[in-house]
Amino acid sequence: MKNVLITGSSSGIGKIAAEKLKAEGYNVFQTGRKKLDIENYLSIDLSDPKNVNKLYNYVKENFGEIDILINNAGEYLYSPIDKMKLDETIKIFNSNFISHYYLTSLVVPYMKQKKFGRIVNIASISGVVGEANASLYSATKSAYFGFSKSLALELAEYNITINSISPGWVETPLTNAALNEQEKMETLDVVPQKRFVEPVEIANLIKYLISDSAKGITGQNINLCAGLTCGC
């Protein structure tokens, strides 16, 4: 039975992914900023990279070594570049990428030793096609593509795969908080399938990418966006 660590899984995509993998028989450890009274969970803020060691050591001591890592935690910031502040820039990069890069570096030695590992990064189509007034968010998400390709080559001989999933607009509390009803209608108008992606669709793709059936898929980014990246 494989041990899975999913960051940012107190709600939304991460929460649904955790529920899906638990139902499939995986041992799952969850993290999030919210304080939840559930088994195998730690409330922690990964916008501070110093907390990565705290998380890793806690999981190792109370749960076990990690076979599968799902890098999902992150936050969105909509702002013109000339309005950005340095502390906001550092915080978003830490939360969306740097902490996950560091966490990956901590779990990889065990994966190499066991000659098995699966790493899935939850990126965004904003990193694929760009998004005006979200250049910082787009930059943090596009960082996963080079990371995944390079690490896939580095770890291929150890039976470790690393891939990214880039969701489009997803039906989550974050989306509902970001858009009013008028904005939702305008957003759906440009989505070819005229719908938001359901979190369970992403959870199912994660389940596939960490399975033996997908052992030949590595270094890839998969857009799960209801057709949004296909063009006009």
Domains of the chain: 3-227 (3.40.50.720)
Q: Which long-range contacts (CB under 8 A, 24 or more apart) does 213-216 make?
A: 214/161, 215/159, 215/161
* Catalytic hit among 26, 41, 76, 137: 137
Q: What angle in degrees, to the nearest 10, is found between the helix axes of 50-62 and 99-114?
A: 40
Six-digit token string for 9: 């899984």
Instruction: Convert the pLDDT of each residue in 99-112 to its tens digit.
Output: 999 999 999 999 99
Residue 232 is predicted with a pLDDT of 53
Q: Where is pLDDT greater, at 129 or 72?
A: 72
Give the Cα separation of 107 and 113 in Å (integer).
10
Judge whether 110 counts as a catalytic residue.
no
Q: Is residue 44 within a helix (H) or strand (E), and if so which, with residue range?
A: none
Residue 194 is predicted with a pLDDT of 81
- Asked whether the predicted pLDDT for residue 36 surpasses 70, the reply is yes
Residue 84 is predicted with a pLDDT of 86
Using DSSP bridges, classify how beta strands 3-6 and 68-71 pair: parallel, antiparallel or unpaired.
parallel
Q: Cα 144 to chain center, whole Å?
A: 10
